[in-house]
């Protein structure tokens, strides 16, 4: 890169921005792990950047996200925040960095000090107390439900969640508990499209989906998936936006953001029934 990028051209996205979009306009989210990716993603108008523990797989080459540490995520947030042009920056709390309330506060504070503006934790209603503690101390929370990759061993693999009616209802009930505890966002991974729509309807806070159908308030994808950079067969909810794109990576990211906004992504072929 030859020159320093210009100052942010758009109004920074905040949680209030996303809250105001609920029910009116869909928003897009992408992962990023480094300066140049963050610049490209935010410059394309993507509302939220997640420094996710998926970095354990796409950056570090592990089979799952369990080996990722808080120092790893903090390092990548530091890189990303230098390139970010106004997207809301979300930091992921990795495996075993929120097992007690004290540890949760310390882990979340470490990411906020590096530039995160909201933290994401995987779990259900049991996260209510931590969510309350964090939000009371000025740290916004996104609760990640449905398929929780940090629980891959407990779940017996990366499987669709909430297929039976009782489990679907408990996801809705637990999401409501977390909203009441102060969660600003709920992220739903790998659930039937109908359940994605029901959770979105039930909650007042924005719901971000990945493999959760077309009716969530926002959509998220791992940047490497969007660019076709995955070994083996992609998950059903993945679309390679770089294939056939003439404007390269920037064009692919813009095409994704536009498709989410227009409601054309995800299509039926990317959804679980």
Whole-number Å distance between alpha carbons of 130 and 148 = 17
Q: Give me the numbers of helices (H) and strands (E) for the chain, helices first please.
A: 11, 8
The verdict on whether 189 is a catalytic residue reads yes
Q: Which two tokens stand for residue 114?
A: 């590096």
Q: Interface with ligand KIV by CB under 6 A: which range of 40-48, 51-59, 130-138, 150-158?
A: 51-59
Q: Which of 38, 195, 220, 257 binds ligand KIV (CB under 6 A)?
A: 220
Backbone angles phi, psi at 13, to 5 degrees: -80, 135
Binding residues for ligand KIV, rule CB under 6 A, total 12
The number of angstroms, rounded, from the C-alpha of 210 to the middle of its chain's C-alpha atoms is 8
Residue 54 in contact with ligand KIV, rule: CB under 6 A: yes
Residue nearest to ligand KIV (CB): 52
Q: How many Cβ atoms sit within 10 Å of the Cβ of residue 221?
A: 26
Residues 10-29 that bind ligand KIV (CB under 6 A): none
Of the ranges 46-54, 77-85, 171-179, 254-262, which one interacts with ligand KIV (CB under 6 A)? 46-54
> Which residue in the list 101, 189, 215, 245 is annotated as catalytic?
189
The smaller minimum CB distance to ligand KIV, of residues 50 and 118, is found at: 50
Q: How is residue 39 annotated by DSSP?
A: H
* Nearest partner of 141 among 102, 180, 167, judged by Cα: 180
Select from 141, 143, 222, 259 the one that contacts ligand KIV (CB under 6 A). Answer: 222
Instruction: Based on the shown chain and the rule CB under 6 A, indicate whether residue 225 belongs to the binding site for ligand KIV.
Output: no
Q: Looking at beta carbons only, is 31 or 200 nearer to ligand KIV?
A: 31
Say how far apart CA 181 and CA 162 lie, in whole Å.
22
C-alpha closest to that of 270 among 243, 246, 240, 250: 240
- Residue placing its CB nearer to ligand KIV in the complex, 24 or 146: 146
Binding range to ligand KIV, per CB under 6 A, among 49-57, 105-113, 168-176, 193-201: 49-57
Write the interaction track for ligand KIV spanning residues 197-216; mark x where CB under 6 A is met and - where it is not: -------------x------
Binding-site member from 28, 31, 107, 184 for ligand KIV (CB under 6 A): 31
Evaluate the CA torsion angle 110, 115, 117, 122 in order and state its sign: negative
Per-residue DSSP letter, 268: G
In a 13 Å sphere around the CA of 172, the CA atoms on its Cβ side amount to 17
Report the residue number, 52 or 182, with the smaller CB distance to ligand KIV.
52
DSSP string, 70-113: HHHHHHHHHHHHHH-SS-EEEEE--TTSSSSHHHHHHHHHHHHH
Which parts of 72-131 interact with ligand KIV (CB under 6 A)? 92
In the numeric block, which tokens belong to residue 90?
A: 């979300």
Residue of 50, 77, 190, 205 that binds ligand KIV (CB under 6 A): 50
Q: Which amino acids are annotated catalytic? A: 189
Q: Contact residues for ligand KIV (CB under 6 A)?
A: 31, 50, 52-54, 92, 144, 187, 189, 210, 220, 222
């Amino acid at each position: 890169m030859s020159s320093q990028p210009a100052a942010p051209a758009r109004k920074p996205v905040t949680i209030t921005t996303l809250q105001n979009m609920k029910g009116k306009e869909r928003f897009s989210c992408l992962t990023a792990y480094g300066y140049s990716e963050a610049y490209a993603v935010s410059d394309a108008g993507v509302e939220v950047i997640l420094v996710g523990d998926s970095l354990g797989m796409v950056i570090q080459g592990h089979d799952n996200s369990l080996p990722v540490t808080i120092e790893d995520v903090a390092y990548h947030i530091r890189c990303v925040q230098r390139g970010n042009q106004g997207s809301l920056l979300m930091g992921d709390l990795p495996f075993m960095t929120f097992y007690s309330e004290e540890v949760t506060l310390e882990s979340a504070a470490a990411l906020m000090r590096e530039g995160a503006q909201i933290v994401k934790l995987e779990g259900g209603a049991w996260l209510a107390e931590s969510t309350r503690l964090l939000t009371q101390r000025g740290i916004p929370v996104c609760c990640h439900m449905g398929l929780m990759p940090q629980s891959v061993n407990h779940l017996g693999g990366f499987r669709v969640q909430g297929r039976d009616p009782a489990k679907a209802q408990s996801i809705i009930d637990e999401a409501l508990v977390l909203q009441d505890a102060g969660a600003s966002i709920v992220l739903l991974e790998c659930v039937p499209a109908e359940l994605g729509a029901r959770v979105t309807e039930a909650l007042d806070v924005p719901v971000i989906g990945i493999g959760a159908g077309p009716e969530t308030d926002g959509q998220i994808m791992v940047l490497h998936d969007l660019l076709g950079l995955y070994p083996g067969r992609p998950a059903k909810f993945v679309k390679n936006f770089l294939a056939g794109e003439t404007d390269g990576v920037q064009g692919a990211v813009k095409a994704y953001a536009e498709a989410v906004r227009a409601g054309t992504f995800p299509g039926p072929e990317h959804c679980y029934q």
